[in-house]
Chains A and B, each alone.
Chain A
Amino acid sequence: MTAIPFQRVLDDHRDDVWRYLRGMVGAQAAEDCFQETFLAALRAYPRLRPDSNVSAWLLTIAHRKAIDHTRRRREVGLSAAPVLESVPAPERDTTIWSAVAALPPRQRASVLLRFGGDLPHRDIARVIGCSEAAARRSLHEGLKRLRETL
């Protein structure tokens, strides 16, 4: 059992989990996914092994919540792409997020996890639930597409 109070996990990782969800589902839906992610994490937290990579663990939960959200949207006939709100952000960032939002989910996830979450390929594969080779491919494809768009 870990001896780190959950509040510290929340404080230390809230920004990156928020950024990931915003990238995956858009700022508005990020709120719900964020709540679901941390409530699920709180429930499972006592069973987390002390040597676990907390960041990768949280991003895995966040990824599942984002995918669930996307699936629900698709089921009710809405676009699965994240909705980008006009949040006040530097224009350059807005351009980048629009381009990232336009990627297919797995490429989007790989790009965000690699360059935002700073995860190695092995952990990216674990978070999105695919092989390491597939994660590398998604990342490569995603970056290629971004280069073409931007």
Chain B
Amino acid sequence: MSELIVDAWHAPVPEAAAAAQRVAERAAAEGRADLYYETIASPLGELLLVASRHGLTQLHYAGDDVDAVLEDLAAARSPRIVRSAGATDPWRRELEQYFAGRRRTFEAPLDWKEITGFRRRVLRATAAVGYGDSASYKTIASAAGSPRGARAAGNALGSNPLPIVIPCHRVLHAGGGLGGYTGGLERKQMLLALEAGDAA
């Protein structure tokens, strides 16, 4: 008797997956979670987008560490994290347009709340560097109010939570050297080539 119930219970329930997705999207539509994420494909590989109620809060070159990133966010910010295509859609669309060469500035809101102090000033200065343009680490440091802080500015850029949309790839060495990049120099080169109008 009990084995019959156990067997019947374990029959697959594909409708549960669909119902779970509806729950996550409803939570997003009604603002019931604190963080929403989605992974999207891009010419630079898979990207992980994380949005809060204030805007896009993190963008990662995803690789295999999506789970680790989400666990860190759960510990540091809130465990109320759900996957939602709907909640991340504005940034997905703008990024797709950007990679297609049809967008030069990002308009969907960014969440600056978690970005504070010197790092905030550096990233604000970086956000002001236009498409296809570039700035030196020294220029960015000066704009952030610390003319001799080029190295510190480099570190702040290295921990940019929103690469691509806060264009740290546009910050180069004064001599023309590429400098560093969170996602690897190859990606930095690809972004610069895209903005220069060269086929990547």
* Identity of the chain A residue whose Cβ is nearest the Cβ of B6 in the assembled complex: A115
Q: Interface size on A (CB < 8 Å)?
A: 44
Say which residue of A6, A15, A111, A150 sits within 8 Å of B16 (CB atoms): A15
When distances are taken between beta carbons in the complex, the residues of chain A under 8 Å from B13 are 15, 18-19, 22
List residues 1-47 of chain B with CB under 8 A from any CB of chain A.
Answer: 1-2, 4-9, 11, 13, 15-17, 19-20, 22-24, 26-27, 32-33, 37
Q: Any chain A CB within 8 A of the CB of B49?
A: no
Which one of B67-75, B141-149, B152-160 is at the A interface?
B67-75
- In the bound assembly, the distance between CA atoms of A11 and B24 in angstroms comes to 10
Which one of B51-59, B79-87, B168-176 is at the A interface?
B79-87
Among A6, A10, A27, A116: residue with most chain B CB under 10 A:
A6
B interface secondary structure, majority: helix
Contact A39 B27 (CB under 8 A): yes
Q: Any chain A CB within 8 A of the CB of B97?
A: no
Q: Interface size on B (CB < 8 Å)?
A: 34
> Shortest Cβ distance from A18 into chain B, in angstroms?
4
Contact A7 B83 (CB under 8 A): yes
* Identity of the chain A residue whose Cβ is nearest the Cβ of B12 in the assembled complex: A15
Q: Any chain B CB within 8 A of the CB of A5?
A: yes
Say which residue of A5, A38, A43, A115 sits within 8 Å of B9 (CB atoms): A115
What are 7 of the A-B contact pairs (CB < 8 Å)?
Answer: A5-B73, A5-B79, A19-B9, A39-B23, A42-B82, A93-B11, A96-B5
The 6 tightest CB contacts between A and B, nearest first, are: A18-B16, A116-B9, A3-B75, A5-B81, A14-B20, A93-B8
Interface of B toward A, CB cutoff 8 Å: 1-2, 4-9, 11, 13, 15-17, 19-20, 22-24, 26-27, 32-33, 37, 70-71, 73-75, 78-83
Interface of A toward B, CB cutoff 8 Å: 1-8, 10-11, 14-15, 17-19, 22-23, 27, 30-31, 34-35, 38-39, 42-43, 45-46, 89-90, 92-93, 96-97, 100, 111-112, 114-116, 143, 146-147, 150
